Amino acid sequence: MALDYCFRYIGGIPAYVLTDNAKTAAVKHIAGVAVINPKMVSFASAYGFSIQTCVVYDPASKGGVEAAVRVAKEDICPKDTNLVQNYRNIAELEAACAAYTTSINSVVHSTSGKIPSVVLQSEAMTFHSLPKVPYLGAYGVMRKVEPKMPIVRFNHCGYSVPAKYRREVVYVRSVGEEVVIVAQEETGGYVNEIARHARGEAFSYVIDDSHKEPDHPNGPLVRMPIPTNETQAKFLSITPDASQWLIRACNSGASGIETSIADLVGYANNEVSSSIIEESLRLGAFNHSVIADLLVIHKRSARSGTKATSPQSSKPQSSNGASSSPQGPYGASTDAWSKLAAVS
């Protein structure tokens, strides 16, 4: 990315680039000959320049580089001796670098006796043109956005991108204290920045709320039942309350939920099954034993030709509305449960 920025700053690409022997340029040396990093070879081929490395342990061959580092330390980096204040963000540092570059290139160079900005105008005549679209590798490391969440992982941290980029390939890089994510809109097309985040801690997530879809739920995720077999589909179609029953039964850790579903689906009368679901919700009891007992009550009523009543609704009431008889399980009277036990 730094070389691409440099080429665009000077307005073209020179015939060759001289670099230090960093691993990004030379992976090793064999008999004093640098083995160029394959990624750098690919980058140089895309831009049309030749890569050359400095002689190892020879400061004279890279004097310009060493001088640039010394200048940066003395005049740009905050120190007690230069009175430069700490930069509040990366933008201030970039602005300081740009201002200093303009000023130092506008004065006579102590070695060549020439003004660099003036010399650049004549040298630029030998440069060849820049590609319209930068080499993708210049934008950072390649990552694929996760399919279910619009998240990319970089340096052990998850960063959000707009939801439309799910399953798309993007490029991520660090810029100071920020992480920049870009994407190519179409094959051979321009690359645009799609997200920029403050650098996150390892094993954490950095989420921009604007990247969420409009229907993304806030707070705990509510999972509505989705049938995975025919029995579940039939159960959920008995009554709109079936979904609520299943959610509450699962959240309460009820036993025998699948058996209860099979029993209610197997009962021929959907109206009765719907009533049992409503009664279970009213009682707040979802174990299979409760559903089985309610089924027994309805079967008994069907045989006798009387209207079925739930255990709780059969309790006799006193004049002040309180139950006048001892209570059994689920708020039902002991008499009602004794009759139920006799039937079962």
pLDDT tens-digit profile of 235-263? 999 999 999 999 999 999 999 999 999 99
The DSSP secondary-structure symbol of 11 reads: T
> In this structure, are 260 and 293 located in the same domain?
yes
- Other beta carbons less than 10 A from residue 139's beta carbon: 21
Instruction: Give the whole-angstrom CA distance, residue 41 versus residue 188.
Output: 20
Is residue 294 in a domain?
yes
> In this structure, are 163 and 246 located in the same domain?
no
Residue 103 parent element (H or E): helix 90-104
Residue 135 has pLDDT above 70, yes or no: yes
CATH (domain of 109): 3.30.420.10
> In this structure, are 114 and 157 located in the same domain?
no
Map residue 29 onto helix, strand or coil.
Answer: strand
> In this structure, are 46 and 98 located in the same domain?
yes
The DSSP secondary-structure symbol of 268 reads: S
Is residue 223 in a domain?
no
- Extract the runs of DSSP E, i.e. beta strands, from 87-207: 141-144, 151-154, 157-160, 169-175, 178-184, 191-198, 205-206
Map residue 239 onto helix, strand or coil.
Answer: coil
pLDDT tens-digit profile of 316-329? 444 444 444 444 44
Tally of domains in the chain: 3
Model's pTM, two decimal places?
0.48
Is residue 219 in a domain?
no
> In this structure, are 19 and 91 located in the same domain?
yes
Residue 287 has pLDDT above 90, yes or no: yes
Strands 205-206 and 157-160: parallel
pLDDT of 222:
66
Instruction: Give the whole-angstrom CA distance, residue 277 versus residue 271.
Output: 10
> In this structure, are 188 and 277 located in the same domain?
no
Query: Nearest 10 degrees: CA dihedral of 184, 188, 190, 194?
Result: 0
Residue 44 parent element (H or E): helix 38-47
Q: Determine the average pLDDT of the residues in 47-69.
A: 79
Is residue 131 in a domain?
no
Residue matched to tokens 């399980």: 329
Q: Domain range spanning residue 21? A: 2-126
Is residue 217 in a domain?
no
Phi, psi dihedrals of residue 153, rounded to the nearest 5°: -110, 130
- Here the tokens at position 331 are 């708020």
Task: Please count the CA atoms within 13 angstroms of the CA of 142 that sit on its side-chain side.
Answer: 7
Phi, psi dihedrals of residue 89, rounded to the nearest 5°: -155, 175
> In this structure, are 67 and 167 located in the same domain?
no
> In this structure, are 178 and 236 located in the same domain?
no
